[in-house]
Amino acid sequence: MPDYKPKSQGVTYLRHAYNHRNKKLKYLTIPVERAKEIIDQAAGFNPTSSGYNLKSNSLKGAAVVLAMEPKELMERLNCPTPSKILNDLAEARNHIKALEEAGDACAVSAPKHLQQAWVKAKML
C-alpha cells in the first residue's frame, strides 16, 4: 500500500508547530516563507462543478490554515466575483434607463394627474 501524501504540507506544518509550541502562548505564528509555501500549494485546489461544500477536505484544510470556520470560508469562496457583481449592476442600470424612457413616452399622452404621478415616481 502506498504511503499517504497530503495535497498540502500546510496542515502538517501547523500541526507540528502547534505540538511544539510553548503551552502558555495563545497565538501561533509562522514564518512568511512557510505561509507563502502553504498558499502556493493550495493554489491547485479546485472547486467541484457545484462549488465548494462543507464535505470537501480541501476546504476544511484551507479553513484550518486561514483560521476560519469552514462555513464562512465556503460562503466567501462561492460568492460571485466583484466583476460579475459590477456587470449585474450595469445591466440593471440599463434596464432602469429603458423603463424610464418607456415611462416618459407613455406619460406624454397620459392625463395631467398621471403625468404628475409619473414625475414623482421617477424621482424615487
Containing structural domain, residue 63: 10-78
* 4 in any annotated domain: no
Return the bridge partners of 48, or none: 51
Cell of 6: 497530503
Domain match, 71 and 16 both:
yes
Domain termination site, one of 78, 93, 111: 78
Domain match, 50 and 25 both:
yes
Please give the model's pTM, rounded to 2 decimal places. Answer: 0.42
* Total number of domains in the chain: 2
* 2 in any annotated domain: no
Domain match, 51 and 72 both:
yes
The pLDDT profile of the chain, 124 residues, written as one tens digit per residue, is: 556 565 566 667 777 777 777 777 777 777 778 777 777 776 666 655 566 667 777 778 888 878 888 888 888 887 888 888 899 999 999 999 998 998 888 888 889 888 888 888 888 8
